[in-house]
Amino acid sequence: MERTDLDLLFKIADLHEIPQGAYNIRKNGEGVKRHSTANIEIKPKEDKPGIDIIVKPGTRGESVHIPVIITAEGLNDLVYNTFYIGDYADVLIVAGCGIHNPGSTKSQHDGVHNFIIGKGAHIRYVEKHYGEGEGTGERILNPQTNIELAEGATAELEMVQIRGVDSTKRETKAVLGKGAHLLITERLLTHGQQTAESDMSVDLEGEDSTVQIISRSVAQEKSKQIFYPRVAGFNKCRGHVQCDAIIMDQATVRAIPEITAHHADAQLVHEAAIGRIAGEQIIKLMTLGLSAKEAEETILQGFMK
């Protein structure tokens, strides 16, 4: 693989080389490397671009890597991936997309991921987005994530936008069954004239289902962000939505959390906070020998972890 490919894979999936276990690497709209294991099968879809990932019931301690990289200008890539997670399986799924746009026309990747998570199963899903390139062409990423959690299932989603993405619209929808749990951690950085929109909808349908949504973002220069997380409780359930943002320069941030209870025993909470870096934090770090710029960067790195 070329140096640019390897650099992108490291940034979005922490890969220095071809991973162990099951994997599917997609480049410029085509699958280039794929491997299945005895417990995890990856096969191409027959009716549309994308893959099916089938995890056998009871599979534990295995991982799936499905990174996407784009290194060409003018590419519009759309892919559909479906994950079938068997009952009581426990797996790590590492996704993400990196775009290196060398030209003047936009490059775009839209990924639609559907998760059907079986009874008592657990997944940890990590998705990182990153853009770079010396060209003036836009780098656009629009991920869609749809999740169905069966009784007692758990999903932990870590969704990160590192930097360099000019425009993104993230749509996340989830339906939880009895005793299911969903944790979504979203971290986002925008700068320049970039725009980012995150639209989440979670339905707590099963008794004793729970969700926690944590969104942290930094908006720099003239970038714009919109967060719209919505949680609806249809049974005895618990939900918590937390949106925290640091705003800098001439940026704009909107946070619009919404909770709706359709049951008397639905316990739902939301909170949102937007503000600048506190001056006393910078001063305290400067007394330890950091410059103002270094202190600011240290605070931002800690906030985004």
pLDDT tens-digit readout, 226-284 = 999 999 999 999 999 999 999 999 999 999 999 999 999 999 999 999 998 877 888 88
Confidence band of 20 (pLDDT split at 50, 70, 90): confident
pLDDT score of 17 more than 70 = yes
Percent of the chain topping pLDDT 70: 100
Given a cut of 70, is residue 165 above it in pLDDT?
Answer: yes
CB neighbours of 218 closer than 8 A, spacing ≥ 6?
188, 189, 190, 245, 246, 248, 300, 303, 304
Banded pLDDT at 92 (limits 50, 70, 90):
very high
pTM above 0.95, yes or no: no
Residue in the structure block whose two tokens are 């790195």: 301
Helix H or strand E encompassing 238: strand 237-247
Total residue count of the chain as it appears in this document = 305
* For the chain, the helix, strand and coil percentages under 3-state DSSP, each to the nearest 5: 10, 55, 35
Query: What gap in Å lies between CA 231 and CA 269, rounded to an integer?
Result: 9
Return the closest-CA partner of residue 229 out of 166, 190, 271, 286: 271
Distance CA 14, CA 162 (A): 13
Q: Residue range 134-158: average pLDDT?
A: 96
Specify the pLDDT at position 283. 83
